[in-house]
Structure 1
Amino acid sequence: MDWAVSHKIWEKWASSTNIASTSASSGSPIVAALLLNHDPTAPSRLLSVIAEQEGTNLKAVELYPFLDFVKRNNPPTEYFFIGENQYLVTSIHEHWFCARCVNTSKPAGEGAIVMQAGAFLLVAMYEGSIGAASQAMVAVDQLAWQLNRRIH
């Protein structure tokens, strides 16, 4: 995929009301999102791990354990980390999975949706429970659809 096109799609998606500037209470379904380069067939040393991020300030080295988790492809039996948060996978689907944060201090909880979109992994983090997860899934699906549409 052309980098300029994916960047433009990300910017439009992230600047809309999909990602909260401070918390999910602002009406945005997602509090942080990452777009990670993840093409198992491409030489990874040629790509930056983090293509885009919003609402978080993670470094590539902090995401290597998560990418190792994805490569092992055994989500129901392990935890994974994104930054300091530890997640447990709660549901698995063909091109995406959901997880709940097990070490959160937030009363409503936190979760993450991880979706494969072409040569990218889209990771969206949200605060709340089922309603928040549903809203986040809609936002994630919109971006994945746009990215996948540009690939085919």
Structure 2
Amino acid sequence: MDWSVVRRLWEKWAPSAVGSSGQPLKAALLINYDPTGPSRLVSTIAEQESIKADPIEISEFVSFVKRNKLQMETFFIGPNEYLVSSIHESWFCARCLNTSMQAGEGAIVIQTSALLLVGLYEGSIGSASRAMVALDQFAAQLGRRNF
């Protein structure tokens, strides 16, 4: 994988999609992930924006994805616990169980051939739709380069 290309794509995409008020995502993570690789290969945080993810926590999240029991377990990102609410072919959505936000919070996880793209957003259905569009744009750029 050409990490310099991935980094350039991220650096171009993240400022317009993640962070400040009015952007579709409050935070995003890009995790190196190969579900077919040997278990000794540890998934790593390739990029992150507006979040300081803990590597051990991310390792537990990757294990959650690998177990593929998405609707039977919950997962954590930061202090928040998430429950998967819908599953699609290469992505899933989850709602935060312990949010203090009145409108709620959610996560969208997209799996490409070698990466997990995680987007966190605040709000409900409209916010989730905007978050999905932003994540899908980045995933499409990765897909054009077979990442």
1:48 Cα deviation (Å)?
A: 5.5
Aligned pair count?
147
1:59 Cα deviation (Å)?
A: 2.0
Q: Does the CA contact (< 8 Å) of 1:37 and 1:121 recur in 2?
A: yes
User: Is 1:2 matched with 2:21?
Assistant: no
1:47 Cα deviation (Å)?
A: 5.8
Hey, what does 2:28 align to over in structure 1?
A: 33
Give the secondary-structure state (helix, strand or coil) at the position aligned to 1:77. Answer: coil
Hey, what does 2:123 align to over in structure 1?
A: 128
User: Is 1:70 matched with 2:70?
Assistant: no
1:42 Cα deviation (Å)?
A: 3.0
Hey, what does 2:11 align to over in structure 1?
A: 11
1:61 Cα deviation (Å)?
A: 1.1
Hey, what does 1:100 align to over in structure 2?
A: 95
- Which deviates the most, 34-43 or 2-11? 34-43
User: TM-score when scaled to structure 1?
Assistant: 0.91
How far, CA to CA, are the matches of 1:68 and 1:46 in structure 2? 12
Give aligned-pair identity as a percent: 63
1:45 Cα deviation (Å)?
A: 5.0
What RMSD in Å do the two structures reach over aligned CA positions? 1.5
Q: 1:61 aligns with which of 27, 49, 56?
A: 56
How far, CA to CA, are the matches of 1:149 and 1:10 in structure 2? 14
Give the secondary-structure state (helix, strand or coil) at the position aligned to 1:33. Answer: strand
Answer 1 or 2: which has greater helix percent.
1
